[in-house]
Chains A and B, each alone.
Chain A
Amino acid sequence: MSEDTNHEQATTDMTRRTFIKAAAFTTGAMAMTQPLWSQVAAGKDTIKIGMVGVGRQGKILLNYILQIPNVRVEAVCDIWSYSQRLGGGLVKRSNNPDVRVYGEYDEMLAAEKDLDAVIIATPDFLHEPMTNKALAAGLHVYCEKEMSNTLAAAASMVTAQRASGKLLQIGHQRRSNPYYQHAYRLMHNDKFCGDVTVVNGQWNQLKPLRPLPAKMIQRYSIPQDVLEKHGYGSMAEFYDWRWFNKFAGGPMTDLGSHQVDIFAWLLDTPPKSVMAFGNAHHAIAEAKANNVGFVPECFDHTLAYYEFDSPAFGPVSAFYQVVLTSSHGGFYEVFMGDSGSVRISEIREKSMMLKEKVADALAWEDQAEQVTQGGDTGYQFDPLKSRKQKGQTAEANPELAEMEEKLEKAKSKVHLLHLENFFAAIRGDEKLTCPADVGYETAVCVLKANESALTGKKIELTHDDFKVA
């Protein structure tokens, strides 16, 4: 058998494609409907995009984009040959064998005159320069969170967006998640929680510091001058950018921002103060013990207290923790009120609603399914089950059917819905769920928490602090 299986595989793939193209359909005895290929062929409604940064998150986004009809990846940009090969290869094998692959972002923008939008999934410190250049070039932008690792840079993205008149979606995908949208309705329309008084959330995920995967990094090393040109001092800085202040904002921006964003959204207001604690002691010791070759700068955990003055519920106290030194409890957010509480998470199994015994029964209560989690009994957190009128089916109600489909996607493809919202907004069919102003508010929430932890001071905030003039 051949040693060169990669080559073998490529040849087999080609033969398969040719084979299919050549094969005429054999008509059998039964009626066959000819496919309407034009529905998914490139045409004037096709949105043409450039993918920038095909690392772990970029790959996730790209894999979804390749399954969305009428969106075509025209260009892929990444400074790393590993990501270029992976991203370019996927698109080539999909619907665009002519995709262009770039190492330099500026070159891509200069050469690609026909793009509608870019998707940016590079490290946080690059979000601002890349987003602003794309907006100035007249492109819509989907930019991953955190908007930036500094507030000045995040603010400049809001300004650039306004000046361009183009769309800027920030990657807080929970904003497009029907379970979270349902939580908003439950709390505000159905008053399920009554008056919310306390909010609590966490993301605990053990992230051990390990040396670089030597063989892989050696195969795909980036020349030192290229690294430096892009702001990285070494391969370790490039690969483990999350641990450096010049590139990132630590776990509070990396993970916390998704959830503090939910606090402000579901309470309908940004916080009026923050007081936070954190340090990197464990990470520094672990990095040394494991010989990872750098000293981590960002915190390995952060705990933050927020005070809110919610127009719907009044004063609310909130506690948030993000911990990279333990996985205890995973991630979720809980909204607690005097009638009930809502626990919600991107992990469906962690979501449920708990009703206080003293509260009145709700109209749909007999429709809701009871669940028990970790000893607590409550209702399943399911927009269909808790809201569906008696006897109503998805077949009879297209709105329910659409909701059902969205809910299925929300169970496993959390980013897909956010991308779909972006593309629908480009077509003028929907409004962005996380536009630049919203992304900025969240950036303020988490970057002020970092500031508080560093200075040891409680920070008072006004509504103006969350607005870009």
Chain B
Amino acid sequence: MAIEGRDPHSVGAEPPDWAGPGANALRFKHRAMACDFEFYFYDEQMNDAQQAAEAAFEEIDRLEALLSYFKPTSNVSRLNVSPAGEPVVFHPDAFDCLVLAKEISELTGGAYDPTVGPLLGDREPWDFDEKETGERWAPPGVGGVPHVGVALLALNAELCAAARMTDGVRVDLGSIGKGAAIDAAAAVLRDWGVGSAMLVAGRSTMMPIGLPPSRDAWRMRLRDPQDEATLIDTVALEAGAISASSVVGDGHVLDPRTGEAVGEVRGAWAVAPGAAESDALATAFMVLDDEAAERLVELREHAGAFRVDRTGEGRAFGAWASLRDDVEGP
């Protein structure tokens, strides 16, 4: 999705300018979670950067193995086939994702919901990967759908375990997986002493480490998801993560609370201290009404969002206003 400079098919053709003119980056790329993860390191020696990147990419693969909806041995898959009431022991990294997903779901009254899977009917989410199947997902217009809702998931923090409280409920952490992987990679890179870097997952999630070498913030331009020539907003990010969510073409996003398609929002961007959280918030902002959106950013420290509706009208929430970058041109 449209965060400045990121065209997945021509990465690196135009060097990203978020770090300012003349900032030279060492770039590393790794495929995981069906997208490209990229690291841009500034002010770094090649040998250090390369070994740090390898360690961080390993971490991303580790997260994928824990969180994948598709791999039968992931924590998520084991939960999805476990008999109701029988606890599944989670790895703490996967457990934290589950806790975050449940929390955001509760704070949004279910507008964000990692158990929305069954609304897809007997199709699997990947059946609707437009690129693979040429088919776009048209969600069923059902209301009061059973087996959906995080209240059906029991989590036990002391035991680091989760259980389904009814057989049908199915968890998919795909909406925060990339963010969680970026969070974990950033932790490794910081630990390895990387001081200035930008981490990117696909076109939807970005998180800086430190500041660019000669600027006081990372300058990001957000483009209209349906018309990349149109600049929507510019933000100056000093820390935290930014995520984007949008509808593809004239598609729809599903409201888990009703099972119906919502078409009001065309694209949403969210900022939060961590990338898993900004991922979840960006998804929630596609669905929430203005009032609930205001409430949500008040409840999450340092959270903010910006979204554009069908008519192209934009609106900022929470911390977003303070991130606005007025400087024009690099």
Contact = CB atoms under 8 A, between A and B. Distances in A.
A35 B73 contact: no
B6 interface: no
Nearest to A404: B72
Contact of A67 (B90, B151, B154, B238): B90
A5 B92 CA distance: 19
Contact of B273 (A9, A34, A95): A9
Interface string B79-105: 000001111011110011001101100
A69 B89 CA distance: 6
Interface residues of A, number: 53
B87 A40 contact: yes
Contact of B160 (A2, A33, A95, A219): A95
Contacts of B51: 210, 213, 216
Interface stretch (A20-28, A195-203, A244-252, A316-324): A20-28
B204 interface: no
A94 B92 contact: yes
Interface stretch (A10-18, A364-372, A373-381): A10-18
Interface stretch (A254-262, A407-415, A457-465): A407-415
Contacts of A39: 86-87
Contacts of B92: 66, 90, 93-94
A259 B162 CA distance: 38
B165 A35 contact: yes
Nearest to B322: A1
Contact of B183 (A9, A94, A218, A408): A9
Interface in B112-151: 146-147, 149, 151
Nearest to B77: A408
B86 to A, nearest CB: 6
B102 A20 contact: yes
A30 interface: yes
Contact of B165 (A34, A69, A93, A215): A34
Taking each of A1, A20, A214, A409, which has the highest tally of chain B beta carbons within 10 Å of its own beta carbon?
A1
B161 interface: yes
Given A16-B96, A93-B96, A408-B73, A2 B239 contact: yes
B65 interface: yes
A327 interface: no
A6 B91 contact: no
Contact of B151 (A20, A25, A36, A94): A25
Nearest to A56: B58
Interface string B301-330: 010000000000000000100010000000
B290 interface: no
Contacts of B146: 30
A409 B73 contact: yes
A224 interface: no
Contacts of B193: 215-216, 218-219
Contacts, number: 156
A412 B89 CA distance: 18
A413 B45 CA distance: 34
A32 interface: yes
Interface stretch (B21-29, B184-192, B221-229, B254-262): B184-192
A409 B95 CA distance: 20
A37 B156 contact: yes
A82 B191 CA distance: 9
B273 A19 contact: no
B161 A37 contact: yes
Contacts of A211: 47
Contact of B87 (A37, A68, A82): A37
A35 B163 contact: yes
B274 A9 contact: yes
Interface string B27-60: 0000000000000000001011011100000000
Contacts of B102: 20
B182 to A, nearest CB: 12
A70 to B, nearest CB: 9
Contacts of B161: 37, 40, 95
A35 B239 contact: no
A412 B166 contact: no
B152 interface: yes
22 contacts: A1-B302, A5-B240, A5-B273, A19-B99, A25-B151, A30-B146, A30-B147, A33-B166, A34-B165, A35-B154, A37-B161, A39-B86, A40-B89, A63-B62, A67-B89, A95-B161, A213-B51, A215-B194, A408-B73, A412-B65, A412-B71, A413-B73
Interface of B: 45, 47-48, 50-52, 62, 65, 71-73, 75, 84-87, 89-92, 95-96, 99-100, 102-103, 106, 146-147, 149, 151-152, 154-161, 163, 165-166, 183, 186-187, 190-194, 237-240, 271, 273-274, 277, 302, 319, 323
Given A12-B277, A21-B158, A216-B191, 20 more contacts: A1-B302, A5-B240, A5-B274, A25-B165, A30-B146, A32-B166, A36-B87, A37-B161, A40-B87, A67-B75, A67-B91, A68-B89, A90-B92, A94-B92, A94-B95, A95-B161, A213-B192, A216-B52, A219-B191, A413-B65
